[in-house]
Chains A and B, each alone.
Chain A
Amino acid sequence: MTIDFRPALPALIVALTGVVALVIDAFTPRAGRSRTQSVCLTGLAAALLVTFSLPVRIGCPACSPLTGGSVVSDTWSVALQALVLVVGMLALPLSTAYFRAIDQDRGEQNALIMFAIAGMLGLVSSVELISLFISLEIMSVALYALTGSRRARSDSQEAALKYFVTGAFSSAFFLYGVAWLYGVSGGTTFDRIASTLASPLGGNVGCALLASGFLLVGFGFKIAAVPFHSWAPDAYQGAPTSVTAFMSTAVKVAAFGALTRVFHGALFPLADRWIPLLAALAVLTMIVGNVSALAQRDLKRMLAYSSVAHAGYVMTALVSQPPQAAAAVFIYLVAYSVTNLGAFGVLAVLAKDGKEPLTLADISGMARRRPFLSAAMAVFLVSLTGVPLTAGFIGKLRVFAAAISADHAVLALVGLLMSAVSAYYYLRVVVAMYMEPPQDEDRWANVTGAAGLVIALCALAVLMLGVFPERLFAWAQTAAQTFR
């Protein structure tokens, strides 16, 4: 029997691009600049094109493809793959600009970003636990290396080691959960698991719940949900800022994409049991993330705790019925990705001569010297807070609405309260940029070229999605058709 490999094509194209980038780097003269950016952008664009041209399945999030293999192309996978690819295309110019600024342009960064993206593409389209796990590992291994890629700095090395050790730990949890599910259902495909769990389980309920718990812990580490978030601040702070921008957005997109499919697809028959657990984690994540962010002096660390908090907001959506949950998750992920990529991106593009703005004092009065960049940063921070007319507001509106519709109004209430708390630490940055006197000398880079364009695009997207959300709603509707 022949296997239809087409659903794996986007991931294959991106992985091959990564290999090509490695080879090009190997043959570039030592003094020269890395020339792989355009190659990688082309690869991502080609993968995006292919993603949209594949035949798309509607409905049945857990079904194996009829033509064999472990990955599918359905509306959910296409939507999330497109989002991952777009985030990747936006992150590449930031990465090039940042690594040039810290004078470490010659490296395997672009190739590693490609491999990470290939893993993410597999992650959101897998309907089988082992391929899901391998995809997760491809993504993670590339990211561990990227985190440590600022070789001259010990905090980058430390971040990579912490990320690696906790990541390996979480993989073990995940794998243990996979083994238990295999024991219960005798298979690793999602439809086998879903049909086993839907039938009377007898004494095996305990095994299935244990397995679900282990999977949740594994995913919890990847999305940095409390109490599995302890690596995130250190890893986000120590990693090169452009890498942080990429991994705080794309990883969450991919991990939440897979989490939604696993829990609302394969494990949906147990929904009554895992929803309270997920709700508790969401509350904990929102509270701990936001309250810890209040105390931070370092901008990257503050944004790191903020992205922990945002994982909590997304989780509130997951307690509702599948189609609604999926639509809300997708809307939030789109809004969060463009916003957070922009916010970390602004910090990354300001880097110059190996230094970058780290504290409020570093960016005080920035509005006078860089009005456009400051305006963009203000837009991102306002959107992260969730103020109307920004994408962040639309995202929060939908996830809280989803939670309320599932009779979990408490989640929405906690989310609202915590959003109010978050206003303090986000707007503090805006105040510093606009109302405080500038520093004596201008130490930061002037933003030009592709990186500046990326920031502008992100800011534009945040405003456009916030003012005209209908298009986004329509996309989410289509994406969620898988979960009908």
Chain B
Amino acid sequence: MAETILFYALAITAFSAAFAVVLQKSALGSAFALIVVLCSLSAIYGLLGSPILATLQIVIYAGAVMVLFLFVIMLLDVRREKGGGGPRSFVPLALLFAGLLVLQVGAVLVGSELVPQSAPFDGSAKAFARRLFSQDYVYVFEATSVLIVAALAGALALARRRR
């Protein structure tokens, strides 16, 4: 019971904060609303029994990704565009596509019975690590390091001053 109440409280927080992200006029405000969304989602992951995912959500999204966003916002000084508002012509189109997506996904979900995991779900850090570093995903884990090096080299190549 308490869990259900907590879930709905978190879900409503996440939902309204998501609206705030879109509706905020200042980019900085949007960014902070996004942090609220990400933190509420993190708490929901915790409720679902995966503390490791909850922690990663905070560290990676609310931490690293948001700091990056804030850096960009402050470096570009987006605040100056606050009053302008920009073209509004995309709003109907955006609503149309969002509606289509919601309808589509909703229709699919109504008819479906998603398969439950065969083994009981173990969301602990230990189980997570065991899967990540066992034969299931160790290749992916190692491949990610190549991805990061490639991204670093690419960023260097693009950003370096000409000589």
Contacts and interface: CB of A to CB of B under 8 A. Distances in A.
Contacts, number: 118
Interface in A95-131: 106-109, 111-112, 115-116, 118-119, 122, 128, 130-131
Nearest to B152: A22
Contacts of B163: 30, 106
A196 B111 contact: no
B138 interface: yes
A186 interface: yes
A174 B96 CA distance: 21
B140 A22 contact: no
A1 B138 CA distance: 12
Interface band, chain B: 35 or more
A210 B157 contact: no
Contacts of B117: 186
Contacts of B155: 145
B22 to A, nearest CB: 17
Contacts of A227: none
A151 B153 contact: no
B57 to A, nearest CB: 16
Interface string A135-174: 1011001101110110110000000100000000000000
Given A131-B139, A160-B158, A15 B153 contact: no
A11 B32 CA distance: 41
A71 B146 CA distance: 15
B115 A138 contact: no
A312 interface: no
Nearest to A201: B112
A206 B108 contact: yes
Contacts of A145: 153-155, 157-158
Nearest to A160: B158
Contacts of A3: 135, 138-139
A183 interface: yes
A148 B158 contact: yes
A70 B108 CA distance: 30
Interface string A195-213: 0100000111011001000
Contacts of A142: 150, 153-154
Interface in A381-428: none
A185 interface: yes
Nearest to A211: B108
Q: Which 5 residue pairs spanning A and B have beta carbons closest together?
A: A145-B154, A68-B135, A115-B150, A206-B108, A108-B157
27 contacts: A3-B138, A15-B149, A19-B149, A22-B153, A69-B135, A70-B137, A70-B139, A111-B153, A112-B154, A115-B146, A115-B150, A130-B137, A134-B140, A137-B147, A141-B147, A141-B150, A142-B154, A145-B154, A145-B157, A148-B158, A152-B162, A186-B116, A202-B113, A203-B111, A206-B107, A207-B108, A210-B105
Given A118-B150, A148-B158, 9 more contacts: A5-B139, A15-B146, A118-B146, A134-B140, A134-B147, A145-B157, A151-B162, A196-B115, A207-B109
